[in-house]
Amino acid sequence: MTLAQTQPQALEFDCDTGNYHTFCPISCVAWLYQKIEDSFFLVIGTKTCGYFLQNAMGVMIFAEPRYAMAELEEADISAQLNDYEELKRLCEGIKRDRNPSVIVWIGTCTTEIIKMDLEGLAPKLEQEIGIPIVVARANGLDYAFTQGEDTVLAAMAHRCPTADQVTSAEEKAERNSIQKLLSFGRKKEDVAAEESEYHDHPPLVLFGSVPDPIVTQITLELKKQGIRVDGWLPAKRYTELPVIDEGYYVAGINPFLSRTATTLMRRRKCKLIGAPFPIGPDGTRAWVEKICSVFGIEPQGLEEREAKIWESVEDYLEIIRGKSVYFMGDNLLEISLARFLTRCGMTVQEIGIPYMDKRYQAAELALLEKTCNEMGAPLPKITEKPDNYNQLQRIQELCPDLVITGMAHANPLEARGISTKWSVEFTFAQIHGFTNARDILELVTRPLRRNDSLKDLGWEKLVKEEAKV
């Protein structure tokens, strides 16, 4: 501690060339169309985009997905065809076949470059066909992977109604589906009685797309503190988007939602609760505590709850304690995961991250720093826009016990005797809240447990020459 006191360590930030592998942000349609059940996602792009989606989504697309490509042809590029007429033809088809409550247009690199005015065309067409059209420019020129969700949610934030817009009782009930969910099947009086258990606090809306079980778990977690979740962006259905009025409080559940946060603050005049993200029991506790503190509520039993979770995952912690981990960076969950793994006793060698919003992630960064200091772990270097080639050189030098990386590098690294965990799994697994700490550790320890089962076989390195990258 003496060293830390004389020279307060600070996180070191670096920015490299941006030559790294990640998924195109249009991949967000894969989970968002499943989340928003009455939506239809139309990706306006080329064969390149379609090919990516088709392959990245694997089997999902056989299940009649509510997404399609509006594939641009040469005549669209050279403006021989009228964009409006073309989009109208396609959207009418979609309306006829699927009758969605919203069509989300995903703008791509090509629509950016040819400057197709999707934001201008959408309101006109919306009027004409009578289905809301939301435009999100989730392209590879500007964003990486999970940021795609951010662009969609930021666009959706504009569509959330205000209280005056929701007048009918029916609609009010619909927009309040989370409460409905929790009080399902119970008597009115009980529900009313329960209402009184909530503290009197200003409305709170959470944002970030997570699977429904997580919505329930997190909502209940806050309920334990007497905090009512008034809505969630996105909701299960587009027609259930929450009411957002000026002065509402909002809190993000994922680290990649900075545009959504900005939109909610600037355009909807909401107050953002800046907190670490509820990933890992430490993060979840810090997140709940922060919300409590904003509302002036004394948190109840959180410390015990966290301790219990840690206790229950001790078998996994034994496996990773003292091991090193290296994040190549591709999905923006890296800071939160690194913070959690540091608390688990791992040493983080580097945190690669596509994009670092120091303001939106401020509380998370502070918690990372605090965690490192408390655990006596060195502060990791955070590399924004990493360069995969340079990283592979560093990985060879450092020989981390675990590299968290994309599928492009996973097999080649494994062949060189370096254990890897495929990063994309963290975006699809359930990792939020107290309950799912075990799931994260299940993922993180899997390669190490595999190593354990295969140890003594003597074939860790399976390439002939020394690792050439």
Residues that bind another protein (CB under 8 A): 18-26, 44, 46-48, 50-52, 54-56, 58, 61-62, 65, 67-74, 76-77, 81, 86-87, 89-90, 93-94, 109-110, 112-114, 139-142, 144-145, 388-389, 392, 406-412, 415, 462-463, 468-469
Distance, CA of 42 to CA of 32 (rounded, Å):
12
Beta carbon of residue 26, minimum distance to ligand SF4 (angstroms, whole number): 5
Question: Which range binds ligand SF4 by CB under 6 A, 44-52, 68-76, 213-221, 358-366?
Answer: 44-52
Using alpha carbons, select from 192, 184, 259 the residue that is nearest to residue 219.
184
Under 8 Å between Cβ of 245 and 162? yes
Give the nearer residue to another protein in terms of CB position, either 112 or 194: 112
The percent helix, strand, coil of the chain (3-state, each to 5) is 50, 15, 40
Residue 403 tokens, joined: 């590299």
Beta carbon of residue 47, minimum distance to another protein (angstroms, whole number): 4
Q: Site for ligand SF4 (CB under 6 A): which residue of 31, 33, 52, 327?
A: 52
C-alpha dihedral sign at 12, 17, 20, 22? positive
> Scanning residues 82 to 121, which ones bind ligand SF4 (CB under 6 A)?
108-109
Give the nearer residue to another protein in terms of CB position, either 300 or 393: 393
Beta carbon of residue 415, minimum distance to another protein (angstroms, whole number): 4
Give the nearer residue to another protein in terms of CB position, either 2 or 78: 78
Beta carbon of residue 336, minimum distance to another protein (angstroms, whole number): 22
Using alpha carbons, select from 155, 184, 201, 204 the residue that is nearest to residue 36.
155
Question: Which range binds ligand SF4 by CB under 6 A, 42-50, 264-272, 345-353, 449-457?
Answer: 42-50
Q: Please state the length of the chain.
A: 469
Q: Determine if 72 is a binding residue for ligand SF4 (CB under 6 A).
A: no
Helices 407-415, 388-398: inter-axial angle, 10-degree rounding? 30
Beta carbon of residue 402, minimum distance to another protein (angstroms, whole number): 18
Which of ligand SF4, another protein, none binds 327 (CB below 5-8 Å, type-dependent)?
A: none
Helix (H, G, I), strand (E, B) or coil at 247: coil
Residue 349 tokens, joined: 């060698």
C-alpha distance from residue 182 to each of 178, 216, 262 (Å): 6, 8, 29
Beta carbon of residue 279, minimum distance to another protein (angstroms, whole number): 24
Question: Which range binds ligand SF4 by CB under 6 A, 45-53, 294-302, 370-378, 452-460?
Answer: 45-53
C-alpha dihedral sign at 378, 414, 432, 54? positive
C-alpha distance from residue 358 to each of 261, 353, 364, 426 (Å): 13, 12, 9, 22
Give the nearer residue to another protein in terms of CB position, either 144 or 313: 144
Binding interface with ligand SF4 (CB under 6 A)? 24, 26, 45, 48-49, 52, 108-109, 139-140
